[in-house]
Structure 1
Amino acid sequence: MSSVRGEFSSRFGFIMAAAGSAVGLGNIWGFPTQTASNGGAAFVFVYLILAFCLAYPAFMAELVIGRHGQANAVTALRKIAPTQPKFAFAVGFGGIICAALILSFYAIVAGWMLSATLAPIATVTDLKATADWLNQQSLGRDLLFTALFIMLTIAIISKGVENGIEKWSKRLMPALLGILFLLIAYVLTQEGATQGLRAYLVPDFSQVFNPDLLVSALGQAFFSLSLGTSVMIIYGSYIAKNENLVSLGAYVTLIDVFIAFTAGLLIIPAMYVAQAQGVEIFSANGTLLSEDTLVFQVLPALFNSMGTIGLVVAFAFFALMSIAALTSSISMLEAPVSYTVENFGMNRLQATWLIGGVIAVVSFVIVFNFSSLFGFVIALTTQFGQPLIGMFCCIFAGWMWHRHKLLAEIQAGFEGVEHSLFWKIWPWYIKFICPLAIALVFFNSL
């Protein structure tokens, strides 16, 4: 492989990087919020089914396409379907645009996380005015911390695959897990946590076929695994040929689902703990209040009720959220950067700052038009863009790629795969089941 492109130096490095991309605010901010808004345990039940039955097969399709292509998403898809260059460009470039748009709203939310991480420090050091400014949403604060987060992302991506993406993913992911488990242990000892666990773990099966729940669960599964954004095609292109893609894909999916589920064990009980302490969580008709900013309204109220220790817990929680955001943002920036480097001959540093700057401008436009654009961009990308592009990737792998060539690519790292249960199911599954199921859910949402 060209040294210009780079490569993951180890199996663990790829798993941490791909899991880092998958494990982000989609798991720790989005998943619990979606769970609370869509029937609690019923949403969890549907999400788990869709994650393994639709998201994992689609995830595998993107990884295989990427490693075969050894290039950015557009080039990789064109290698599979050389007679359909326009369609390949539309799908590949569509995924890149989707990744850039996700990062544009993602950076805003991550900026909130950074601000909330610094607020307890300002409180402890008696900088009350600064703490109030950090805790209150304002145009100046949002612009500053959005820009700061994008610059952090640029700094990591500019270092390349091994020294940037892989190095920092291996550091940040274990830290994220450690903080998450410590917070869960604390919250579950508080009054009201048992009621939260019941809401999270005991499903109402009458809600399972609710169309809105199905659409939200599918969007969440694709969003949390970074599907439909060209990200996993790019990461797949950085995997050595002798690696077993089937097991790698399974590990990443399991880690992603596990951390999403574990994050729910923190956020949902924390909501009910806050409710037991007088914080209003649900409206009179049972709908969740302040869905987009739930963690910034409910959890600070909970932390404040804890006294001095609450400042430590608040710092730990929002540091966790910031780490989760960063592990995902580096993959979303990598998608357009790799395309720019490989197609326009720019060096990585120039491309990273150029693309990062463009995304920052889009983020600023959203901040200035927050009420009209923020929710719109989220819905456009996660509920429509990602499932559609993920569906087209399944079509490429299932319909446009010769079956023998597809098998040969997987065999490179998994001898005897043709005799495995995976190969007996997966090829026809991505050819028929995945595109049809995704299309049905998508059209139902329209």
Structure 2
Amino acid sequence: MASNSRGQFSSKLGFIMAAAGSAVGLGNVWGFPTKAASNGGAAFLIIYLVMVFLLAFPMLVAELTIGRYGQSNPIASLRSIWTKNRAAAGFFGLIAMVAASMILSFYSILAGWLMGFAAAPALEVVGLQSAADWLVNFGDARNVILALLFSLLTIYVVQKGVADGIEKWSTRLMPMLFVLFGVMIVYIFTQDGAMDGLKMYLIPDVSHVTPALLVDSMGQAFFSLSLGVGSMMVYGSYLKKDVNIPKTAAQVAAIDTAVAFSAGLLILPAMFVAKNNGVEIFNAAGDLMSSGDLVFAVLPAMFDTMGSMGMIVGTGFFVLMVIAALTSSISLLEVPVSCAQDELNMTRRKATWVIGSAILVLSIVIALNFGSLFGLVADISTVYMQPLLGVVWAIVVGWIWNRNKLLNELKEGNPEIEQGLFWKIWPWYVRIVCPVAILAVFMFSVL
């Protein structure tokens, strides 16, 4: 099984902060509000909350349980369950590792931009306008250098290990994220126009509920919890045996959802504040003009209309985005690093630098061929690989894993689980409902 040198989370809070950090990324702080704004606000919010409860949470329990049972990386953990076909188990574990690496390669470029936007206002204040412009304007050199900086930051945290790196930094960064969010939401609510955004976000318009909205909201719920790519399996493998997995998974899902909800509370009112200040955000048909650069065009334009306060709010907002990106990127890098440690007997330091550098090379290739590669790599890894791997994990837990062994693993942290409602519903739910629902959404999004 696993090597004895494997790290462990030193506390349950440390795990919850790290797992929530993995889940809380650009998908929540950028993707969720953008999709909510494009899909009528409240209608999207309600369906999203339903999808987190019905689909993402049961799958989160499945991934954490696989990881803790195997006490190893995704390849070895899957093999420990799928004993009759170890080759298939190894193959899917490897694919998860590739998917995590691909996501990190394009994620680092986005996160680098956020670092640029966070640093630019400070440079403007000290009179370095041309340097500030360079940081916020699209260009090959800027894209490569900022991706390099963000990658080094990720490598630095991961090489420190589970307790000293991932846990320590997550427990520092996540509370900072929550406080920044709170301060910024309160500030935005004092601005003219904010209440219109709040109405759109909280008062549902049933006419917006379409099949496309269902697909968007389920995809968002799935990606927002870092499901499918093995991150949660790896984090599960660092969990102590006395942890109640369903309860802990519910706490992680709740924090993640609260952050997505807060991001909506911040960004939708902010869009209407921007509109009130003369920034164009909707076209003549009432559709969001450009969801892709909402964060890089609309919000900075709004911060500019706020005078000196706008600079502080803008810097705070982008620092918050960088923190969200970093807590996710460390969980993505941890997937291939844990595989290299266990399967190739590499030291953590060497594994982190070798793999981190290889992913950075891929980031640079994507940055230099942005138009043709960025969207392609993002689609292959998130639209195709993530949901299909999710289906595989559901099949492993629902059909391949011996039911008694699965029950015994869950009993470790919750001896009474067999009598409760959770155990009566969850096994067949993961077996039938989850794979069918994920496949249905996948087919719809692809066709």
Q: TM class, shorter-chain normalised? A: over 0.9
Q: Distance in 2 between matches of 1:131 and 1:204?
A: 41
Q: What's the Cα RMSD here?
A: 1.2
2:144 aligns with 143
Letter in 2 for 1:383: V
CA deviation after TM superposition for structure 1 residue 61, in Å: 0.3
Partners of 1:171 and 1:51 in 2: CA distance: 26
Matching of residue 239 in structure 1 with residue 242 in structure 2: no
**Which AA in structure 2 matches 1:306?**
M
Inter-partner Cα distance in structure 1 for 2:332 and 2:185: 28
Paired residue secondary structure (2:109): helix
Spell out, residue by residue over 1:141-188, the C-alpha distance to the aligned partner (whole angstroms, 9 max, x if none): 111110000000000000110000000000000000000110000011
Quick one: distance in 2 between partners of 1:308 and 1:3? 54
Which consecutive unaligned segments of at least 5 residues does structure 1 have?
A: none
Aligned match of 1:81: 82
Q: How does 1:327-366 map to 2 (within 5 A)?
A: 327-366=327-366
Question: Counterpart in 2 of 1:25?
Answer: 26
1:162 corresponds to:
163
Q: Residues 219 and 382 of structure 1 are in contact (CA less than 8 Å); yes or no, is this contact kept in structure 2?
A: no
Give the corresponding residue for 1:402.
402
Cα deviation code 1:342-361 (max 9, x no counterpart): 11111111111111111111
CA drift of 1:2 comes to 4.7
Q: Is the 8 A contact 1:69 1:75 kept in 2?
A: yes
Which residue of structure 1 aligns with residue 9 of structure 2? 8
Q: CA deviation at 1:90?
A: 2.7
Greater shift, 89-98 or 392-401, is seen at 89-98
Distance in 2 separating the partners of 1:59 and 1:320: 25
Give me the identity figure in percent: 53
CA–CA distance in structure 1, aligned partners of residues 31 and 431 of structure 2: 30
Taking the aligned partners of 2:92 and 2:352, their CA distance within structure 1 comes to 22
How many angstroms apart in 1 are the aligned matches of 2:169 and 2:406?
Answer: 32
Assess if the C-alpha contact under 8 Å between 1:35 and 1:41 holds in 2.
Answer: yes
TM-score w.r.t. length of structure 2: 0.97
Q: Which residue of 2 aligns with 1:294?
A: 294
- TM-fit CA distance, 1:283: 2.1
Measured after TM superposition, the shift of residue 135 of structure 1 is 2.0
In the alignment, the residues of structure 2 paired with residue 52 and residue 87 of structure 1 have an alpha-carbon distance, to the nearest angstrom, of: 30
Counterpart in the other structure of 1:58: 59
The one-letter amino acid of 2:172's match is R
Report the count of equivalent residues: 445
Counterpart CA distance in 1 for 2:208 and 2:307 is 39
Shift of 1:363: 1.2
Q: Contact 2:3–2:342 (CA<8 Å) still a contact in 1?
A: no
- For 1:273, the aligned partner's letter is V
Superposition deviation, residue 207 in structure 1: 2.7
Change (3 A) 1:285 1:371: farther
- Taking the aligned partners of 1:298 and 1:247, their CA distance within structure 2 comes to 39
Instruction: Report the secondary structure of 1:83's partner residue.
Output: helix
CA contact (8 A) 1:99 1:332 kept: yes
Deviating more after overlay: 83-92 vs 356-365: 83-92
Q: CA deviation at 1:206?
A: 2.8
The aligned runs of 1:435-446 (5 Å cut-off) are 435-445=435-445, 446=447
Aligned-residue offset at 1:289: 2.4
**d(CA) in 2 for partners of 1:416 and 1:179?**
40
Which of 30-39 and 271-280 deviates more?
Answer: 30-39
Separation in 2, partners of 1:125, 1:346: 46
- Tell me how far apart the structure 2 counterparts of residues 387 and 43 of structure 1 sit (CA, whole Å): 20
1:381 CA displacement: 2.1
Q: Corresponding residue for 1:46? A: 47
For the Cα contact (< 8 Å) 2:16–2:252, is it kept in 1?
yes
Paired position in structure 2 for 1:200: 201
Cα deviation, residue 252, structure 1: 0.1
| Aligned mates of 1:290, 1:351 — CA distance in 2 | 40
Q: Give yes or no for contact 1:216–1:383 (8 Å, CA) kept in 2.
A: no
In structure 2, distance between residues paired with 1:205 and 1:93: 43
Q: CA–CA distance in 1 between the matches of 2:438 and 2:184?
A: 36
Matching residue of 1:106: 107
Matched residue type, 1:389: L
Counterparts in 2 of 1:202-221, with a 5 A limit?
202-208=203-209, 210-221=210-221
**Cα pair 1:229 1:389 within 8 Å, conserved:** yes
- 1:176 aligns to 2:177 (yes or no): yes
Residue type of the alignment partner of 1:205: V
Contact 2:56–2:221 (Cα < 8 Å) also in 1: yes
Which residue identity does 1:386 align to in structure 2? Q
